[in-house]
Structure 1
Amino acid sequence: MGLIKAIVGSTTTAFGDQFKEFVNCPTISKDVLIQRGVVTHGEGNKNHSSGIITNGSTIVVPQGMAMMLIENGEIKEFTADAGTFYYDTSSEPSIFTGILGKGIIDTFKTIGKRFTFGGQTAKDQRVYYVNLLVNAGNKFGSPQAKKITDEKYGMLEVTFFGEYSFRVIDPILLVNNVIGANPSDTIFFEDIIGSQLHSKLIEQITQAISIVMRKNKVSFGDIGMYGGDISNELNACLDETWKKLYGLLITDVALNDINLTDESMKKVNKIDEATIFSNKNLQSGLMASASADAMRSAASNESGSMMGFMGMNMAGATAGSVMAAANAKSDAEGYKKETNQPEVGQVFKKEPNDDNVEVSEVPENKRCSNCNEIIFGNFCSNCGEKVEK
């Protein structure tokens, strides 16, 4: 029993033999994983047996497909090479095979078996094709919020949607575990996955996202750029079911959208605000942006430009006080780290003063000539008096 690949140029002769079967795969959609081959009998073979592939029959394997011949539930022949093959030695040889001699003896043996089984064949041979092409565009989504761990924000609840691609990497394993439970001629991807494995897929995608975020130290907003890493982690999570049970491999995962729940969004905003106000550089940037917006607004207001500038200076004075306090604390901490200044109570050697060191005077704060309040800008924040230079 075996397959012999047809030599180029000999196909026409094989097709012209009307006493053999011709087995081919019908046109299938991308979501079909397994398809039973269609057997066309020769016009001269009027007494063919259903479920029997006779000796010398032609089997065509299209590109991107694997073919296997199953006899009584057992895989007998397999090929993943595209091309035309001749079935060399069938367990049920045709009566039209060869000249009188061995073919007749084999025919008598076959007829003897059929008498034993009530006139029916004792063999059941089928050809199945397995789709090896990448199956893309399979949608997934989380019906409920899932928890992920973010390096910056901690535990967050998110919903996500996207698509994934997969392909068959072990067609023998797939057919062996599927055909017995689902002996249909056409088996779709959904027939294998079903709701149970699909729910498990969503759970494993959640786990894969968290693993990639932790390994690459990325936040949830940038996770969409790590589709390849997610697919690798997902395959590791699905190894026991998809790969070892069905011979399937996830090739790519694309996250189209990932959204925070309302509570998680509030948490993220709160942490972002705290981060901004603890960084003096970010504070300065916000102040500069706010001042520029206020100046543009005041310039466009003909009747209230003076009041606009007064309000801007009042806001600037208040914000300046806050920033000054924050900067003083930050500068003091930085100075302490740079000079290694000892803590209170620490024993240290007193160094003599250098009389040649020049001491610069600290300029006094400007005060309003009208109300004597301290002025931080060009206008008094208390009475609005303009500062005289």
Structure 2
Amino acid sequence: MAIFKAFSGSISGTFADLWKDIITSGPFHEHTVVSPGILKQSNNERGANENGSEGIISNGSHIYVPENTAAFIFSESGIENVIIEPGGYEYRNGEESILAGDGIGSLFKQIGDRFTFGGQPVETKHVSFINLREIRGIKFGTRAPVAYHDRFYGTDLEIRSRGTMSLKVTDPVRFVRNFVPANATTYSFDQPGAREQILSEFVQSFIVAINSLSDEYRIAQLPAQANSIADRIRNDQASAGTWEQRFGFRVVGVGIESIEFTEQSRLLVQQYASNKMNVSAYEGISQRAGNIAAQQHIAQGIEQHGLGEGGGMLFGMNLAQAMDPLTATAGHQSIVAADAVTPTNHPQQESAPQMSVEQQIDAVKKLKELLDIGVLTQQEFDAKKKDILGL
């Protein structure tokens, strides 16, 4: 056999007049990747009437391969040739066409062959066409829950996802020889055998791809990473990433419609959020309880040193404020030094550096001694105590 290329590009001018009867590609329906050739017969106005011949060709047949398609010729014996460049071709294999040559002789010869082989020619030759455009909208979904290790929650969660993918034939020869069933004149990615294999391997690569993103993205952020997911699927060397090398087609794009938690994982996430809120509330209560305990402890200590119940409470509250940076004020962070032996009409000295708790207690004790021996009045004692305590 032989395929002779007559011209490149579209049919026009002289070739349109010479090639009145051609076999070319039929329509590609949604997800159709292989379609049988159709005989088009031109009239004088160069119109075209389609005659469904299922792409049967013979010696002298004219074949036109449009842009973004490839063609392959096959018979019961297998694939004979694959045409990957667009243009016009003439098929020659030594078998005379009933439309060419001496006509009558060829007709009687083929009639004899048909009687010999049960009314069929020795070998029926077909031509079918491959869709090289991107085939979009192939739906996928995870039938069983998929494990996703979410770093934010620190555990494996189960999710379900659905979306669409697009596929493109990149190597027509490999595609026809390794993926299309033998003697198939038409084929679609929606056919059960093709769809089952594609979805099974795609989901495996999809799981690998999304889990490789778990270090960077939470589950809610995955739909925005569709391009990155598609790249990782193409590079997965275990399943869908091997399609181009094995079958001659590859994943072009992935569109994620939704990613949802399973019911069990949704309950775990809700429990996590609830526990986090409880911990935050407990921390706040614990801090306030600690401040109150500190106030009570310090107040009791001051009462034991003879400052009285009111003085102890004031001292404890002031110290608790100093310990709590959220309630402390600038006025509480500096303490006016008390001159224990100077009358109240003496000019007040400048603020001294902040005193420690022990220093405050010692200063107040000295003031109390001065009060007891009559050196200070009650009003003077109260004023100096407030200065020391920063009240």
> TM range, normalised to the smaller chain?
0.5 to 0.7
- The alpha-carbon distance between structure 1 residues 50 and 264, as it changes in their structure 2 partners (threshold 3 A), is closer
* Deviation, structure 1 residue 145: 2.5
Say if 2:176 is the partner of 1:169.
no
- For the aligned residues, what is the CA RMSD? 4.5
Q: Mapping of 1:367-386 within 5 angstroms?
A: none
User: Distance in 1 between the 2:29 and 2:62 partners?
Assistant: 24
User: Distance in 1 between the 2:99 and 2:196 partners?
Assistant: 50
User: Distance in 2 between the 1:227 and 1:162 partners?
Assistant: 10
Instruction: Report how many residues are paired.
Output: 289
Q: What's the CA shift string for 1:60-96, capped at 9, x where partnerless?
A: 222221112224443333233333x131533323366
Q: What's the CA shift string for 1:276-309, capped at 9, x where partnerless?
A: 898xxxx7xx9xxxxxxxxxxxxxxxxxxxxxxx
Q: What's the CA shift string for 1:194-227, capped at 9, x where partnerless?
A: 345424433432232112324xx32222222222
Match of 2:123 in 1: 123
Say if 2:71 is the partner of 1:67.
yes
* Deviation, structure 1 residue 274: 6.7
User: Distance in 2 between the 1:117 and 1:14 partners?
Assistant: 37
User: Distance in 2 between the 1:89 and 1:129 partners?
Assistant: 19
Q: Mapping of 1:92-103 within 5 angstroms?
A: 92-94=95-97, 97=100
Say if 2:61 is the partner of 1:57.
yes
User: Distance in 2 between the 1:255 and 1:117 partners?
Assistant: 54
The letter for the 2-side match of 1:140 is: F
User: Distance in 1 between the 2:157 and 2:36 partners?
Assistant: 47
Task: Out of 133-142 and 230-239, give the one that drifted further.
Answer: 230-239
Query: Identical aligned pairs, as a percentage?
Result: 24
Query: In 1, are the aligned partners of 2:39 and 2:55 still within 8 Å (CA)?
Result: no
User: Distance in 2 between the 1:209 and 1:10 partners?
Assistant: 48
Match of 1:360 in 2: 354
* Unpaired runs of at least 5, structure 1: 44-48, 287-314, 332-357, 365-388
Q: Mapping of 1:147-186 within 5 angstroms?
A: 147-153=147-153, 154-181=155-182, 183-186=183-186
* Unpaired runs of at least 5, structure 2: 44-52, 293-321, 326-351, 361-390
Query: In 2, are the aligned partners of 1:66 and 1:129 still within 8 Å (CA)?
Result: yes
Match of 1:209 in 2: 210
* Deviation, structure 1 residue 4: 0.9
User: Distance in 2 between the 1:17 and 1:360 partners?
Assistant: 108
* Deviation, structure 1 residue 255: 1.8
The letter for the 2-side match of 1:39 is: L
User: Distance in 1 between the 2:277 and 2:288 partners?
Assistant: 17
Match of 1:27 in 2: 27
- The alpha-carbon distance between structure 1 residues 255 and 88, as it changes in their structure 2 partners (threshold 3 A), is closer
The letter for the 2-side match of 1:25 is: S
* Deviation, structure 1 residue 121: 2.5
* Deviation, structure 1 residue 256: 2.1
* Deviation, structure 1 residue 167: 1.2
The letter for the 2-side match of 1:252 is: G
Q: What's the CA shift string for 1:238-284, capped at 9, x where partnerless?
A: 24874455333111112222122344334445555777898xxxx7x
Which SS does the other structure have where 1:157 is aligned?
A: strand
- The alpha-carbon distance between structure 1 residues 119 and 11, as it changes in their structure 2 partners (threshold 3 A), is farther
Match of 2:89 in 1: 86
The letter for the 1-side match of 2:248 is: G
User: Distance in 1 between the 2:42 and 2:111 partners?
Assistant: 21
The letter for the 1-side match of 2:92 is: T
- The alpha-carbon distance between structure 1 residues 324 and 177, as it changes in their structure 2 partners (threshold 3 A), is farther
Which SS does the other structure have where 1:70 is aligned?
A: strand
Which SS does the other structure have where 2:85 is aligned?
A: coil
Which SS does the other structure have where 1:226 is aligned?
A: helix
Relative to the length of structure 1, the TM-score reads 0.59
Relative to the length of structure 2, the TM-score reads 0.58
* Deviation, structure 1 residue 130: 0.8
Q: What's the CA shift string for 1:81-125, capped at 9, x where partnerless?
A: 333x13153332336656x7xx99999987886676467432221
User: Distance in 2 between the 1:39 and 1:324 partners?
Assistant: 93
* Deviation, structure 1 residue 164: 1.3
* Deviation, structure 1 residue 139: 2.0
- The alpha-carbon distance between structure 1 residues 202 and 7, as it changes in their structure 2 partners (threshold 3 A), is closer
The letter for the 2-side match of 1:87 is: E
Q: What's the CA shift string for 1:135-186, capped at 9, x where partnerless?
A: 12222222343211122322111122222111112322332345545x4533
Query: In 2, are the aligned partners of 1:34 and 1:188 still within 8 Å (CA)?
Result: yes
Q: Mapping of 1:271-282 within 5 angstroms?
A: 271=272
Match of 2:7 in 1: 6
Match of 1:226 in 2: 225
- The alpha-carbon distance between structure 1 residues 21 and 119, as it changes in their structure 2 partners (threshold 3 A), is farther
- The alpha-carbon distance between structure 1 residues 92 and 255, as it changes in their structure 2 partners (threshold 3 A), is same
Query: In 1, are the aligned partners of 2:23 and 2:39 still within 8 Å (CA)?
Result: yes
Query: In 2, are the aligned partners of 1:165 and 1:250 still within 8 Å (CA)?
Result: yes
Query: In 2, are the aligned partners of 1:35 and 1:129 still within 8 Å (CA)?
Result: yes
Query: In 2, are the aligned partners of 1:66 and 1:130 still within 8 Å (CA)?
Result: yes
User: Distance in 1 between the 2:27 and 2:200 partners?
Assistant: 31
Q: Which has the larger radius of gyration?
A: 2
